[in-house]
Structure 1
Amino acid sequence: MGVAANIAFHTRTLWLFAFSDLKTIVIPSTIFGVVNALAASKYRDSLQTIHYTEILRRSPLVLFWVLMHYLPFAINNQRTPLAITEDAINKPWRPLPSRRLSPSQAKVLMFSFYVFAQLCSVFITGGLRQGVGLIFLGTWYNNFGGADVNPLIRNAINALGYICFISGAMEIALGAPLPLSTTSVLAKWFGIISGIIMTTVHTQDMYDQEGDALRGRRTLPLVLGDGPARWITAVWMVVWGVLCPNFWHTTLPTRTIGMALALLVGLRTLAYRSVPSDKVTFLIWNIWVSFVYALPLLQS
């Protein structure tokens, strides 16, 4: 295999590790980082503000930072025997079930990216605290039962992970660490986003109940039942659909779009219950989350 072919092969391998969560983590986190850096002056906190052209110039760095920190998590998530067994049924194109590399090679790759990701945080300026947090959360989630034993713990780890990704992305966009404060507008916004993830992220578990049952995972729909889990999602989507635009005092058109997306997710969750339909609902949920991330810039 020539050099170019070898590079293309390994690049595709990394792409296959990350592909499933581009819409969930990588793209939305990048949107949050850039948009909220552009809206930094609206937080009324001790945030460093820089010219919008500099933020836009740093946007590729934001995407790069998010991707580099997501890759080791994804590799860790996909390298266990149970994960490989499940993926062989549901996602046979992934690197391990398709035998593009072995589990031992994946482990080496995971550790290499953990180190590389932290070096990125040092040299790009920002996201170091979040990177360390993601190592801890990812290890708990994938290696110590965080994703498997209790749906509340699973959702809580997801919520903390989301906050690490979006706050790290914002630091990269600004080129400086965010201030540590529990009373700032930014901290309250992170709290709201944590609540969103905690109460609705199991939308992603609705279409994968068969695979989760195979792995012995205790996700919300498997513990409470499919129906109750759907109603929990629907009710909370209405709550967040009202609360988030109100928090930022957005315009009526912005409130209308946000509420329409939230209602669409809630109604689809209740009305359309097939696996393909749940996948579409989860995609719309990610679009809504990305819209929510942009609310500070849409403040009236």
Structure 2
Amino acid sequence: MLSTLWNFLVTLQLFNQSDMKTIVLPVTVFSQALASHHSVPRFLLVVFWVWMQLLYFTVTNQTFGTAPEEDAVNKPNRPIPAKRISVDSAILLGWVLAPLNVALSYYAGAVPAGLGICILTSIYCRGGGHSHWLSKNGCCAGFYALFEYGATQIADSSKELTYDQLGAVVGSALIIFTTIHAQDFRDDEGDALLGRRTFTLSFPLFSRITMPTFLIAWSMALCLISEANRFVLLALMGLGAVTGTRFLILKSPKHDRLSYLYYNIWLSMAHVGLSSFSLDRVVAWYQ
């Protein structure tokens, strides 16, 4: 009995495995940085809520369309190609998770975010949101905003976020929308074979030019609107310039994978800057 339960829990974790460092960890840290109050029970609730919302998305995403066949080739360690769970059972799991997550969001005090993630998951997986670069980037930005909004609400035990907290969440979504195609360069060869219309394939040269442009521009903007430590912001500027230049000049899949690692470090530092977002500084800058 215990062995069966353990195997089931391992299967659930494998659905989320590849997104732990890109969703669960950064969203949790970001929400704690934004929150004005902290407690161990609330922290644990944030982690569990984020993990469960992510699980609903990953289960749905890995069972939709040709995903099982693609994963069998590109990501054989995922639960379905690894034969840990059948497609039909995974689909049933997704249907169970949807109302369960809404109930969890009600308990945690993050109903709008929980419902939003369910709706956006349907748009992304069933509504074709994944099929075009514009809708894909938009959905990714929306997911981050909803995860961060809900997690911050839970961390702060608050129904409404402050203007500074909302500004940080919106800023995060805009950064994701304009730079998330950093993850697509490394997969260009495989995406081309599958006929996908990613931003990097649709605009090969322009997409690379946007990397130093946006990474440097966002770093400069954060220097103006954030009250974070000056050394952190200067490091953000330097890493943004180096990472953006790498994407522009070094174009092999091997280099793109390493550049994407640097991008994730830059993104984490950008969120450190956003966690000290000040609306007053924005107003003063415009004046």
TM-score, structure 2 as length reference:
0.90
CA-CA distance at 1:81 after TM superposition: 4.2
CA distance in 2, matches of 1:139, 1:299: 32
CA distance in 2, matches of 1:240, 1:167: 21
User: What's the secondary structure of 1:97's corresponding residue?
Assistant: coil
CA-CA distance at 1:213 after TM superposition: 3.0
Aligned residues of 1:28 and 1:289 also touching (Cα < 8 A): no
State the match for 1:206 in structure 2. Answer: 185
Number of residue pairs matched by the alignment: 278
Aligned residues of 1:36 and 1:294 also touching (Cα < 8 A): no
CA-CA distance at 1:57 after TM superposition: 4.1
State the match for 1:223 in structure 2. Answer: 202
Aligned residues of 1:76 and 1:107 also touching (Cα < 8 A): yes
State the match for 2:242 in structure 1. Answer: 264
2:10 aligned with 1:12: yes
Match of 1:36 among 34, 37, 43: 34
CA-CA distance at 1:276 after TM superposition: 3.4
State the match for 2:21 in structure 1. Answer: 23
State the match for 1:175 in structure 2. Answer: 157
Identical-residue share of aligned pairs (%)? 32
CA-CA distance at 1:257 after TM superposition: 1.7
CA distance in 1, matches of 2:194, 2:47: 31
User: What's the secondary structure of 1:294's corresponding residue?
Assistant: helix
Query: Please, which runs of 5 or more residues in structure 2 have no aligned partner?
Result: 279-287
TM-score, structure 1 as length reference:
0.86
Aligned residues of 1:33 and 1:169 also touching (Cα < 8 A): yes
State the match for 1:46 in structure 2. Answer: none
Question: Aligned letter for 1:103?
Answer: V
CA-CA distance at 1:141 after TM superposition: 0.7
2:58 aligned with 1:109: no
Deviations 1:161-220 (A, max 9, x none): 1100011110110112224x8xx3333333322221111001111112233334432110
State the match for 1:136 in structure 2. Answer: 119
Match of 1:233 among 185, 193, 211: 211
CA-CA distance at 1:279 after TM superposition: 2.5
Aligned residues of 2:61 and 2:125 also touching (Cα < 8 A): yes
CA distance in 1, matches of 2:176, 2:242: 17
CA distance in 2, matches of 1:128, 1:244: 30
State the match for 2:263 in structure 1. Answer: 285
Aligned residues of 1:147 and 1:217 also touching (Cα < 8 A): no
2:99 aligned with 1:99: no
CA distance in 1, matches of 2:269, 2:188: 27
Instruction: Using CA pairs under 8 Å that are at least 6 residues apart, name the structure with larger relative contact order, 1 or 2.
Output: 1
User: What's the secondary structure of 2:79's corresponding residue?
Assistant: coil
CA distance in 2, matches of 1:133, 1:215: 29
What's the Cα RMSD here? 2.0
User: What's the secondary structure of 1:276's corresponding residue?
Assistant: helix
Aligned residues of 2:165 and 2:277 also touching (Cα < 8 A): no
Task: Describe how 1:29-178 pairs up with structure 2 within 5 A.
Answer: 29-38=27-36, 50=37, 52=38, 54=39, 56-124=40-108, 126-148=109-131, 150-178=132-160
CA distance in 2, matches of 1:116, 1:60: 18
CA distance in 1, matches of 2:261, 2:102: 30
